[in-house]
Amino acid sequence: PTSLSARTPSGNYKQTTGASSPTNTEELLTPAHEENVRFIHYTWQRVMREMQTCQGNENNNQGPQKYVERTPNPALNSFTPVDLNDVKRKNTQDPKKSL
């Protein structure tokens, strides 16, 4: 078996200790991060509204187009989308995960 030091990545990196890392996830959210999240959220909402508006008109080449796989990947047959709001809600309710 290889030693631990042989598997250690080399190069420049900053290592943080557990004592200095933030314990509250809110400390990680900078104003720039919040601005990016707002931008993505509102832009996605606009795209969804435009798609609903253009949904009935198949010949309309203006506006957003929904991508559909021509040959679906069989490995994804059992894939189920994740509701991120539900995951967040569960994580904030679990005291072990909210630390």
Residue 19 lies in a domain: no
- CA separation for the pair 64, 46 (Å, rounded): 10
Domains identified in the chain, total number: 1
Residue 95 lies in a domain: no
Residue 31 lies in a domain: yes
Residue 73 lies in a domain: no
What global pTM score does this model have? Answer: 0.40
Residue 91 lies in a domain: no
Residue 15 lies in a domain: no
HEC states along the chain? Answer: CCCHHHHCCCCCCCCCCCCCCCCCHHHHCCHHHHHHHHHHHHHHHHHHHHHHHHCCCCCCCCCCCCCCCCCCCHHHCCCCCCCHHHHHHHHHHCCCCCC
Residue 47 lies in a domain: yes
Residue 32 lies in a domain: yes
Which range of residues forms the domain containing residue 32? 25-53
Segment 13-68, tens digit of pLDDT: 454 554 455 555 556 789 999 999 999 999 999 988 888 887 766 666 677 777 88
